[in-house]
């Protein structure tokens, strides 16, 4: 083999090593317009996302809470993106979790919305705004106080009270009707058992069942209202010291909802 042919063979055989690396998928960084719905309630947000090493950061804001800016955290892998932020409804803290599937060029996505600890969900679709769109497209906002910034789930587990076992005095309101209960909770392996007793009329204890997670508590019991069978469901978030909780009440099949506060006795 002559020298020229040898050099040519060497060049061709090494071509795969010299080939330019394949480019990765487009970044999801940018301004996203999110339109969704949770149990009939519209959810409209503008989210400014930044992707770095498969991690997501940025902010979301919407008209529903006066365009307050909420810091987000999350991840992106292949065509899946998930991020979350903390906000509040009626003074009750909650976490909005956004899980979506991106289209091929990552210019749009759709997926599910999960609101914890209320354990309710919905769906959404989102589109990336043009590259020249800026944060000026979002009305001026007031930065969320530091205490409302999202807390990593691992940190939530570390700081959450380890057990909700005890007697709780619950005072709430469901569409103008006062609710007064005394609930005895027993938490074992993140399962809740016990009883709830009305303190106004029927004082017969009602057996309850539920669960406890790093994001809060939820339990339910069966009773009657005007001789009609109903199920009362409560979802709550414990205070940092474990002495109080606040949350929501849902009454099925009446489709009635309300809020409550409770104090450990």
List, for residues 27-82, the tens digit of each pLDDT value. Answer: 999 899 999 998 888 888 889 999 999 999 988 887 666 667 888 999 999 899 99
Buried b (16+ CB within 10 A) or exposed e, 127-151: ebeeeebeeeebeebeebeeebebe
CB atoms within 10 A of CB 1: 7
pTM of the model: 0.45
Q: Assign 16 a pLDDT band (cuts: 50, 70, 90).
A: very low
> What's the fold here for domain 166-264?
Lipocalin (2.40.128)
Q: Token digits for 50?
A: 């930044």
3-state secondary structure the chain: CCHHHHHHHHHHHCHHHHCCCCCCCCCCCEEEEEEEEECCEEEEEEEEEEEECCEEEEEEEEHHHCCCEEEEEEEEECCEEEEEEEEEECCEEEEEEEEEEECCCCCEEEEEEEEECCCEEEEEEEEECCCCCCHHHCCCCCECCHHHCCCCHHHHHHHCCCCCCEEEEEEEEECCEEEEEEEEEEEECCEEEEEEEECCCCCCCEEEEEEEECCEEEEEEEEEECCEEEEEEEEEEECCCCCEEEEEEEEECCCEEEEEEEEEC
Least confidently predicted of 24-33, 94-103, 124-133, 175-184: 124-133
Is the pLDDT at 126 greater than 90? The verdict is yes
Spatial distance between the Cα atoms of 245 and 167, rounded to a whole number of angstroms = 12
Residue 190 has a pLDDT of 87
Average pLDDT over residues 162-172: 87
In whole angstroms, give the CA distance from residue 114 to residue 131: 29
30-150 and 166-264 share one fold: yes
Which residues on neighbouring strands pair with residue 59, listed in sequence order? 48, 71
Provide the residue ranges of all domains of the chain, joining segments of one domain with +. 30-150, 166-264
Rounded Cα gap, residues 208 and 217, in angstroms: 13
Q: Is the pLDDT of residue 224 over 80?
A: yes
The arithmetic mean of pLDDT across residues 143-149, rounded, is 43
**Fold assignment, 30-150:** Lipocalin (2.40.128)
Which residue would you say has higher pLDDT here, 163 or 221?
A: 221
133 — pLDDT class (breaks 50, 70, 90):
very low
The label of the residue with tokens 């709780």 reads: 168
Of the chain, the percentage scoring pLDDT greater than 90 comes to 37
Which pLDDT score is estimated for 215? 63
The reported pLDDT for the residue numbered 23 is 62
């Amino acid at each position: 083999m002559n020298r020229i042919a040898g050099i040519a063979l060497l060049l061709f055989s090494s071509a795969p090593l010299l080939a330019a690396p394949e480019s990765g998928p487009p970044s999801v960084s940018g301004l996203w317009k999110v339109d969704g719905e949770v149990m009939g309630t519209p959810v409209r947000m503008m989210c400014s996302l930044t992707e770095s090493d498969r991690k997501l950061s940025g902010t979301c804001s919407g008209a529903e809470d006066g365009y307050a800016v909420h810091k987000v955290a999350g991840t992106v892998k292949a065509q899946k993106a998930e991020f979350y932020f903390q906000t509040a409804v009626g003074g009750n803290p909650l976490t909005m979790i956004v899980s979506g599937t991106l289209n091929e060029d990552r210019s749009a996505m759709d997926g599910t919305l999960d609101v914890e600890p209320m354990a309710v969900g919905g769906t959404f679709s989102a589109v990336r705004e043009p590259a020249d769109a800026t944060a000026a497209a979002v009305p001026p906002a007031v930065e969320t106080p530091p205490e409302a910034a999202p807390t990593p789930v691992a940190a939530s587990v570390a700081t959450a009270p380890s057990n909700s076992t005890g007697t709780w005095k619950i005072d709430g309101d469901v569409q103008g009707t006062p609710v007064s209960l005394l609930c005895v909770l027993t938490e074992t392996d993140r399962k809740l058992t016990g009883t709830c007793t009305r303190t106004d009329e029927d004082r017969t204890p009602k057996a309850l069942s539920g669960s406890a997670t790093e994001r809060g508590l939820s339990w339910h019991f069966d009773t009657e209202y005007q001789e009609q069978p109903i199920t009362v469901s409560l979802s709550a978030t414990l205070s940092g010291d474990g002495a109080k909780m606040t949350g929501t009440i849902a009454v099925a099949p009446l489709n009635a909802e309300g809020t409550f506060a409770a104090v450990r006795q």
